[in-house]
Amino acid sequence: MPETESMPTEGRAAPAVPIFGNILCAISGKEGGFAAVEQAAALAGTQGHLTFLAVTSFRSGGAHRGPAIGPGRATEILERAEGIAREAGVPYTSEVDPGTPPARVIMDWSARYDLLAIGAPASSWPAKLLSVGVGDKALGGFSTALLVARPLEVERRIGDRVVVASDGLEASHALIDLAGRLAHTSGSNVTLVHALGRESPIKRGRPREQERTLQEQERTLERTRASGTTELLVKPGRAGVVVVSTATAADASLVVMGSRRLEGLRAMGSVSRRVVHQARCSVLLVPPETLAR
């Protein structure tokens, strides 16, 4: 399919520089992928740019192999994504890549972008932990920020209610700054959550330095948001369980958190992977190297 671009609507006031100005949307025709396009468009704004990628690959090897996504279907998928971008006034480009396996193709493409947006994995946790699906592979192999999108209810926005997970360490300041920019743009109600873990009551008291860090992060969010509210929650329990339960209680549209990108059996202990599979909302994962840029 030829490259197609949509220009911002004339007369519309130019917004501030987007948090993620150059976003790759990997789409296969599933509803989660189109939700990713809608939410990526909201993050990019009219000053950003979306690239839609349809990876056609092949069903099997041999002389008579056929594409997993035929040319006609690829055209339909991309045209629907382009319509979403045009309605939002966001410039876009459409690409088709016949490479295989799809997960590796998407990971290779994503290295050129600020953010990779995909639909939430359909597999359950932990039954298909080692799944070869694109979503599960992306969770272990992404090198840029990753938006794992779930459809929003009508009248909801991706950033209207945000839960930010912090480990209470200074290294998470950059993640808080990013969440603050998102809150400022979206006018979000923000919940900053920290999990204490499963230590004994004697060890459960937080070090004063960690407590000060969390309070400082709360003040950062209060300063940067344009409207909405900010709340700090410190709760006992494992981080994955605490983040998911907090997001559910807050009726969050988005969880923002860091990720170490664990793969294989090590992923059994991955907080971010558990949150992606168990949360009812979209999840924005940011690896350390992205925050350091």
Mind listing the pLDDT tens digit for each residue in 229-247? 899 999 989 999 999 999 9
Residue range 191-217: average pLDDT? Answer: 74
The yes-or-no verdict on residue 79 having pLDDT over 80 is yes
For the stretch 23-65, pLDDT in tens is 999 998 888 899 999 999 999 999 999 999 999 886 555 554 5
Torsion angle in degrees (nearest 10) through CA of 60, 65, 68, 69: 170
CATH fold match for the domains 22-149 and 161-291 = yes
For the stretch 149-163, pLDDT in tens is 999 988 888 888 999
pLDDT confidence band for 17 (50 / 70 / 90): confident
Of the listed ranges 117-126, 166-175, 257-266, the one predicted with least confidence: 257-266
The yes-or-no verdict on residue 127 having pLDDT over 50 is no
Assess whether the previous peptide bond of 121 is cis (omega < 30° from 0).
Answer: no
The yes-or-no verdict on residue 14 having pLDDT over 80 is no
User: Can you list the alpha helix ranges (DSSP code H) found in 234-270?
Assistant: 239-249
What's 22-149's CATH class?
alpha beta
Burial class (CB in 10 A: 0-12, 13-18, 19+), 103: buried
DSSP state of 267: G
Instruction: State the DSSP string of the chain.
Output: ------PPPTTPPP-PPPSS-EEEEE--S-HHHHHHHHHHHHHH-TTSEEEEEEE---SS-STT---SS-HHHHHHHHHHHHHHHHHHT--EEEEEE--SSHHHHHHHHHTTSSEEEEEPP-S-TTTTTT--SHHHHHHHH--SEEEEE-PPPTT--TTSEEEEE--SSGGGHHHHHHHHHHHHHHT-EEEEEEE-BS--TTT-SPPHHHHHHHHHHHHHHHHH-SSS-EEEEEE-B-HHHHHHHHHHHTT-SEEEEE-----GGGGGG-HHHHHHHH-SSEEEEE-HHHHT-
Give the chain's radius of gyration (CA, Å).
19
Residues of the chain above pLDDT 90, percent: 43
On whether the CB atoms of residues 117 and 39 are closer than 8 A, the answer is yes
pLDDT confidence band for 5 (50 / 70 / 90): low
- Parse the chain into domains and list their residue ranges: 22-149, 161-291
Does the domain formed by 161-291 have CATH 3.40.50.620?
Answer: yes
Residue range 73-87: average pLDDT? Answer: 96
pLDDT confidence band for 293 (50 / 70 / 90): low
The yes-or-no verdict on residue 176 having pLDDT over 50 is yes
Q: Pick the residue with more confidence: 207 or 254?
A: 254
pLDDT of residue 115: 95
On whether the CB atoms of residues 210 and 168 are closer than 8 A, the answer is yes
